[in-house]
Amino acid sequence: MVKVIAHRGDSVHAPENTIMAFEKAIELGADGIELDVHMCKDGYLVVHHDETVNSPDGKMLIRDMKLEELKQLDMGYGQKIPTLTEVFRLIGNMDFFINIEIKTNMITYDDIEQRLADEIRRFDMVERTLVSSFNHYSLRNLKCIEPAIAIGLLYQCGLVEPWWMALRLKARSLNPFYTNITPSLVRNCQYYGIELYPWTVDNPIIMNDMINAKVTGIITNDPAKLLDILRSVQPL
């Protein structure tokens, strides 16, 4: 069965990357969530998509703000920017998958890979976590720090035989933009034991295409829609 991965939580029905969105994804029965991680000024790992936030002083970089300052911001419906610690505590001992994207493709953070590895180990999340990034150097650094943590290579443009890159970096998965899913990619990933998690798939026709292509999981903003399709449609 294809895994349902809620992109930034159930972001159709709750503010993205918030505890509310993650709770709704769990309640729906999603297999996991995808979220984005930055590091703020005082070293906490915080969950937010962009490198910046809209503060009372204007747009500011997360790396230039302390956690206390970030917690004063409203993400919608009274939701605050969560820390990764808060998300791990929400998941607890549940059999639940978490795909953490390290947001180091635009801005780098000193020691973020070490801090992330420490946090994953502290909450015994190694077996339930996949860390992805568009910055493959960051993933390589993480793999050197903790080889047991699974990594996934994010990419958007067409790459020539990307499975070789996955094998070279010892990545568990390729996480491409969904238009890159081709029979050749699926065939080679299956042959080499590489998982496939296309993003971000919200159109039901494309959801069916991905299901029939036999990808490992689908990253979607609308997990309820994908769950309905999986429950009602027999893949070809």
7 is catalytic: yes
Given the residues 7, 38, 48, 136, select the one marked as catalytic: 7
pLDDT digits (tens, 9 = 90+) for 159-184: 999 999 999 999 999 999 999 999 99
pLDDT, mean over the chain:
97
State pTM to two decimals: 0.97
Which DSSP state fits 6?
E
Instruction: Name the residue ranges covered by the structural domains of the chain.
Output: 3-232
Give me the CATH topology for the region 3-232. TIM Barrel (3.20.20)
Given the residues 13, 38, 48, 49, select the one marked as catalytic: 49
pLDDT digits (tens, 9 = 90+) for 89-118: 999 999 999 999 999 999 999 999 999 999
pLDDT digits (tens, 9 = 90+) for 50-76: 999 999 889 999 999 999 999 999 999
Rounded to an integer, what is the distance from CA 185 to the centroid of its chain?
Answer: 21
Pick the closest to residue 159 from 168, 150, 151, 148 (CA basis): 168
- State the Cα–Cα distance between residues 149 and 127, nearest whole angstrom: 7
- Say yes or no to pLDDT of 211 above 90: yes
Rounded to an integer, what is the distance from CA 209 to the centroid of its chain?
Answer: 21
Residues sharing a CB contact under 8 Å with residue 6, sequence separation 6 or more, in sequence order: 21, 22, 25, 28, 30, 32, 33, 34, 220, 221, 223
49 is catalytic: yes
